[in-house]
Amino acid sequence: MGFPGTWMTESESMVYRVVPKCACSTIGQIMYYSDHGEFFDGDIHDAKSGLHKWALDGSQAKIEANVTEHKSFAFTCVRNPYSRILSSFFDKIAGIQRNGQRYRGNLVPQLAQKYGITVEDDFDQIANFRRFLLFARDTIRFRKPMDPDIHWSAQSGHISTFIVNGGRYDRIFWTETFNDGMQSVLDQTEQSHAVDLNNIPRFNESEGHGPTRAHPIEDFFDDLSKHLVYEIYKRDFVLFRYDFENPANKMPTGEIDLDEVHAKLGY
């Protein structure tokens, strides 16, 4: 299976397991900049050079050799499950993508038909998000009416593939304290070009794709919604120390135990 979703600087200074909707665009651009002294012109997900990616055939052997021998500092980044699933809805379901189309073509009409979701005009954000949440649960738990999408499948699932196939993380940090977390990675690695996080732009490639969220996060999650979120993201809450009881609290409640993550996600 290898190491899907894994990126590595060309200098092999650092290895990153991408987790969608967790600052991956910004992290990728920082990695690119640290080698080349400039940012990739465009969405870093589209880069075919300047950064090793598992999706690129020419990169796989180098990534596999590095990760299995743990030659470089390996890390990933996580996000509060409540804000992550909400972001997925506004970006991927309610938003228009970079190509000017709806995400995954016929996905939104399919949701409208099967789950009563509408994202046209001045739609009810809370009601339609809760319908989407039911759909997301069905894809993850039952793989119906489709397989789960990478943008709303559990973070622990993404992170586990790296461990199961022979990798080990040196650091897992939170998007909610991004600068501190990313700085801890930079402090442990050598860069050809120094990175000043205070002056690095945030490359939020999904920003502007969807409508502006009109309510606080906690308003989207009633008791049933919280139950559904916990059903599909329990391991994320537990392992990455997020507060399930209070959707309004986006901050972690304790430190991540890397040994526990490797033990529980290493099968």
224-233 pLDDT, tens digit per residue, is 999 999 999 9
Which helix (H) or strand (E) segment is 139 a member of?
Answer: helix 125-142
- Report the pLDDT value the prediction gives residue 80, as an integer from 0 to 100: 98
At 106, is the pLDDT very low, low, confident or very high (cuts 50, 70, 90)? confident
CA gap 156, 18 in Å, rounded: 12
Give how far Cα 21 sits from Cα of 165, 201, 231, 241, Å: 23, 17, 19, 18
Q: What is the mean pLDDT of the chain?
A: 94
Q: Does residue 207 carry a pLDDT above 70?
A: no
CA gap 51, 7 in Å, rounded: 7
CA gap 235, 237 in Å, rounded: 5
Residue 217: name the closest of 87, 23, 119 by CA.
87
Comparison of pLDDT for 213 and 106, the residue scoring more: 213
Comparison of pLDDT for 206 and 116, the residue scoring more: 116
CA gap 201, 261 in Å, rounded: 30
CA gap 169, 159 in Å, rounded: 9
Domain residue extents for the chain: 82-151+210-233
- Report the pLDDT value the prediction gives residue 34, as an integer from 0 to 100: 97
Residue 108: name the closest of 94, 97, 88 by CA.
94
20-77 pLDDT, tens digit per residue, is 999 999 999 999 999 999 999 999 999 999 999 999 999 999 999 999 999 999 999 9
CA gap 224, 134 in Å, rounded: 10
pTM for this predicted structure: 0.95
DSSP three-state, residue 242: coil
Residue 91: name the closest of 220, 203, 211 by CA.
211
Report the DSSP beta bridge partners of residue 154: none
Residue 154: name the closest of 16, 25, 264 by CA.
264
Q: What is the average pLDDT across 136-161?
A: 94
Q: What is the average pLDDT across 200-213?
A: 76
- Report the pLDDT value the prediction gives residue 183, as an integer from 0 to 100: 97
Q: Does residue 206 carry a pLDDT above 70?
A: no
Q: What is the average pLDDT across 142-147?
A: 91
237-249 pLDDT, tens digit per residue, is 999 999 999 999 9
- Here the contacts of 59-63 (C-beta below 8 Å, separation 24 or greater) are 59/8, 60/2, 62/8, 62/12, 63/2, 63/3, 63/6, 63/8, 63/15
Q: Are 6 and 17 in contact (CB under 8 A)?
A: yes
- Report the pLDDT value the prediction gives residue 209, as an integer from 0 to 100: 65
Q: Are 107 and 251 in contact (CB under 8 A)?
A: no
